Chain A
Amino acid sequence: MNAYLGMPAFPEAARAALADTQLRRNLGRATSTIRAKRARVVGEMPDWEQLRATGAAVKDHTLRHLDTYLERFEQAVRNAGGHVHWARDAAEANRVVLDVTRAHGARDVVKVKSIVTQEIGLNEALADAGVSAWETDLAELIVQLGDDFPSHFLVPAIHRNRTEIRDIFRERMAGAGRPAPDDLTDDPPRLTEAARLHLRQKFLRTKVGISGANFAVADSGTLVVVESEGNGRMCLTLPDVLVSVVGIEKLVPSWADLEVFLQLLPRSATAERMNPYTSTWSGVTPGDGPQEVHVVLLDNGRTRALADAVGRQALRCIRCSACLNVCPVYERVGGHAYGSVYPGPIGAILNPLLHGTADPHDAALPYASSLCGACYEVCPVAIDIPSVLVEQRAEVVDAKRASRRPDPERTALRAAAWLLSDAGRMERAERVASRSRPLAERVRRLPGPLAGWTDSRDLPAPPAESFRAWWRRTRG
């Protein structure tokens, strides 16, 4: 299902990304700019901490009573003339979308940027059935035309600069529809104009639109899409048929709750006080917009995450990207190294929660963090990512224990634990270390996985006497 399959696990993918000079430059610039802007617009809110706590509380409440709110939402959508489908996994969700598309004989669909449809591999599933899915978000268009993968929630082409984008437009637009002008430059207004003309043709010709949703309001059966470009609104209003794939964690009980998130999201995401376009729709409005509206409610691992007492807080996530932008690891390696449509700190916890850690890619993610805590600090719904990461590390270790395969790390850490569980043992070990000091001083390279330290860093010179020995000698 996953377009990232075949990529190496995090440490190796990260090593390759670190050597990509252009990527490092693009990411460094983009993340430092958005970080500073976010800090400014969040700083001007006197009640930010209360908003944050309220956002977390609303999501926790909704998740605790998710069964009730999902059924309330389903009923409200049906009352408003919409269709509701339940999908346990990616295959079921893709089938619903494909069935609707086929029922209308459509060979093309337009899409407003939707991470969840990337999660389920919808474009690939449609392509297998002979249906072309056209991305209409500017950055998604860049990614799609470049045969590339998104590397950020909000800025999926954050790893590209404008010269690269000009080249992609020049070379690839013609194959997808209206070509880019021959004299296209890397001037942002010219690039935008080329994309606008290319996309306008698609909007006017395509009968079926596909979206995700940022929020789903249970009381009224309303879906909400928050965006900057207006392309999303075209996608949501011009086609005759609209299918929205919505993760079950997107629910909020009421419009009053929505108000909290419409303050938290834009400031955290694009560092704007308010986003330019907020589209809301509840079922079908006769004579206005799509006359056939479908909602696919997707589980695909979310109930698995919900069952995890510590990890379930990750389902509060509103995909703002603040944690990506502030993460020192993400800033240096970018999104692709995480091997998922959910990159960065939230991806590092969300992927193992959705799929477990049996796959080596997922098992490596809880370790893709220095636990610096910058993500938790900026998260608008207060997800304690570091605590979830260490919880998941324990799961990875416990799974390895169960397999009973020999593991050098486990052997070393168990030996260390034995030593550190008794002060006498520790003191004896320190005495041995002090006696072997002349030998240790000559060590420049450590063996095995410890070489990871000495490859780039000097070792501290070992002391002649431990603190404990000094204390015993002078004070004991």
Chain B
Amino acid sequence: MRVGLFVTCVNDAVLPETGKATVRLLERLGCDVDFPMAQTCCGQMHFNSGYRRECVPIVRGFVDAFRGYDAIVVPSGSCAGMAKHYHETVAAEAGDERLRADVAAAAPRVHELSEFLVDVLGVVDVGAKFPHRVTYHPTCHSLRLLGVGDRPLRLLRAVDGLDLVELPAANECCGFGGTFALKNPDVSTAMGADKVAHVLETEAEIVVAGDNSCLTHIGGLLGRLRTGVRAMHLAEVLASTGAGA
């Protein structure tokens, strides 16, 4: 299977370890992984902030970069959600019929990482070893826009040595919300404070999620409070094969 990795702009520029882990993991599972160099971003920041016009060339770039791949794998629930559900809105509003057709061809091939592993590759035990106490935050777009359900939890439960602790009020938003974190920083922080309190209740060493944008917010709060608890992407846990974390 020829897999096109859509690493996302945030992972590319700021958190490349997630991308590298995704490549290691997929290759270990026998995928032929490619990173089309023409890729940039899904356009979510612009779309969610109301900059629709600016979104059009970004969406065009996305569909062009990923032409011809059997699957487009995304280590981010919200970016996958954007490509699957809202690229169509951008194309329709732009009145660009060719773009609409390209989006319609690309969207069904877009898979969030956990969904790709469980549904497309049909694996739950990915051969990972990660001897740590971990709790999992199911980010809103993975949960509600994509409906990934318990797939990430099933993957984590199969990891050798991993002690998975249930996160109280797990389904509540962490308060990141893209530009919400900047436009309403006080509410965002108040929501994040409650999320952090729940993470600390679990006595986990690491909070795991499938979206680095939410993790940057949660991890940024955990770091500022000097809790010593780390935030880590699901891909990095699943790629891990030893004690090093």
Contacts and interface: CB of A to CB of B under 8 A. Distances in A.
A168 B15 CA distance: 55
Contacts of A396: 50
A260 interface: no
Given A10-B184, A376-B144, A417-B57, 19 more contacts: A11-B184, A328-B172, A329-B187, A329-B191, A367-B184, A368-B187, A372-B177, A373-B145, A393-B50, A397-B49, A420-B40, A420-B43, A456-B192, A457-B189, A458-B224, A465-B16, A467-B16, A468-B37, A471-B35
Contact of B185 (A455, A466, A470): A455
B182 A372 contact: no
Contacts of B109: none
Interface of A: 10-11, 14-15, 18, 328-329, 332-333, 366-374, 376-377, 387, 390, 392-398, 409-410, 413-414, 416-417, 420-423, 426, 429-430, 433, 449-450, 452-453, 455-460, 462-463, 465-468, 470-472, 475
Contacts of A393: 48-50
A420 B58 contact: yes
B58 A370 contact: no
B182 A453 contact: yes
Interface stretch (B5-13, B97-105, B120-128, B157-165): B5-13
A340 B220 CA distance: 34
Contact of B181 (A420, A430, A452): A452
Interface residues of B, number: 66
Chain B residues touching A, majority SS: helix
Contact of A467 (B12, B140, B176, B184): B12
A29 to B, nearest CB: 14
- What 9 pairs across the A-B complex have the smallest Cβ distances? A370-B177, A457-B220, A393-B50, A452-B185, A417-B54, A372-B173, A397-B50, A467-B16, A458-B223
A367 B12 CA distance: 27
B11 A467 contact: yes
Contacts of B189: 455-457
B175 A426 contact: no
Given A11-B183, A453-B181, A395 B50 contact: yes
Contacts of B178: 370-371
B182 A420 contact: no
Contact of A420 (B41, B184, B224): B41
A453 B191 CA distance: 14
Nearest to A390: B48
Contact of A460 (B176, B188, B191, B220): B220
B175 A328 contact: yes
Contacts of A413: 45-46, 49, 51, 54
